[in-house]
Amino acid sequence: MSVTTPSEVDHDDTPAGREEPGSRPPTVSRRRRRLRPYTLAVPAVLLCVGILYPFFVGVSYTVFNFSAANPNPAFVGLRNFAEITTSAPFWNSVRVTGSFAVTATVVETVLGVGVALLLYRGGILGKVLERALIVPLMVAPILAAIMWKLLLLPEVGWVRPLLAGLGVTDYTGTDSPLWAFIWSVVVDAWIYTPFVAIIALAGLRSLPASPFEAAAVDGAGWWFTFRRLTLPMLWPYVFVAVIFRLMDSLKMFDIIFGLTTGGPGDSTTTLQINAYLESISYARYSRGITYMVVLWAAVYLISMVLVGYLRRLQNRTAGEAT
């Protein structure tokens, strides 16, 4: 088992995989052979074009005032960007999106690594529970949101009586802004903690045994071993999960839409929810897509930084190993 970034699965180290004259049947011409990878990739490229076309059409909407009410749009330059960046709803959804993504990612990472460490200990209980780990991850997020919505409903759900048993009497479900946010994070964590745990568990199982044996011989304590050995060696694996979780929760739609529809008020209105309301509900396409272009740019920049960090992390780990 090993962690590799995509482009690290590079072809430099497998020269045998490349075209070598002489080992080919003579029936295929040299030119055709050189073109072969392109021929194989053509359908995928066409597909990309087919998807990038609406993307560029969408980006072009940002400089028009296109809406259902205004089907013959006029060029407005960067006015859409100027308008949203000076509007309170935009900054509110930036704040909500950011705090949701960061909170959910942190909670899931800590919890996921914790669950992985507990399952790694093995035992009958661990083996049985590991089987059940992926259940929430395979449930559609929208269905998970529906399940939790019902679970949280004071009339039919079990959360009110459970909390009442713990002495909580002023339970309001998702009616208050703070709790709407908290429950959204809980549902996200319910689904995706197993995602982090599964990857962390695979990482734990692939760590070399010798450093731990050496630490045990030296009489190192559990905490020392964890801080100085397990965590640094596991981090490249966990970080892959962190990237996935952060990127995904920045654009999370299903859970929040299903659970709160962005409410109460605009307390859980993320950028995607806001773009949905603007463009699908009110048919103001240009306005909605401007939100999305901003989110996309942010996601893109953040992912560049994170993937760059992952590369350095893996190079360092690889360097230490040799």
Partner 1 sequence: MSTEHAGPEVRRKSRIAGTAANAALIVYFLFSLLPIVFIIALSLKADRDQTTTYLWFAPTLDNYRTVLGLDGGGSSYVRFFLASLTTSVGAVLVSLVIGVPAAYAAARYRFKGSDNLMFTLLSFRFAPELLVIIPLAVIYRQLGLYDTAVGMIWVLQLVTMPLVVWILRSFFADFPVELEEAALLDGYSRRRAFVKVVLPLVRPGIAAVCLLAFIFAWNNFIFPFTLTSSSAQTVTVSSLAYLGGNQVRFNLVAAGAVMAALPPLVLALFIQRYLVRGLSFGAVKG
Using CB under 8 A as the binding rule, the residues of this chain from 206 to 225 that contact partner 1 are: 212-213, 215-216, 222, 225
HSE, CB side, 13 Å, CA atoms: give it for residue 266: 17
- Rounded Cα–Cα distance for residues 154 and 173 (Å): 7
Q: Using CB under 8 A, which of the segments 55-63, 78-86, 87-95, 102-110 binds partner 1?
A: 55-63
- Rounded Cα–Cα distance for residues 191 and 158 (Å): 19
Cis amide prior to 73 (ω within 30 degrees): no
Q: Using CB under 8 A, which of the segments 73-81, 87-95, 99-107, 186-194 binds partner 1?
A: 186-194
Tell me: does residue 44 bind partner 1 (CB under 8 A). yes
Tell me: does residue 262 bind partner 1 (CB under 8 A). no
- Rounded Cα–Cα distance for residues 201 and 284 (Å): 46
* Of the candidate residues 63, 76, 106, 142, the single one contacting partner 1 (CB under 8 A): 142
Nearer to partner 1, 71 or 167 (CB): 71
Q: Of residues 67-96, which lie at the interface with partner 1 (CB under 8 A)?
A: none
| Least CB distance to partner 1 at residue 59 (A) | 8
Tell me: does residue 308 bind partner 1 (CB under 8 A). no
Tokens describing residue 300: 């893109």
- 239 touches 313 (CB < 8 A): yes
Q: Judging by beta carbons within 10 Å of its beta carbon (0-12, 13-18, 19+), is residue 302 exposed, middle or buried?
A: middle
Tell me: does residue 125 bind partner 1 (CB under 8 A). yes
* Of the candidate residues 157, 177, 263, 264, the single one contacting partner 1 (CB under 8 A): 157
> Any idea what DSSP says for residue 12?
T
* Of the candidate residues 96, 116, 144, 234, the single one contacting partner 1 (CB under 8 A): 144
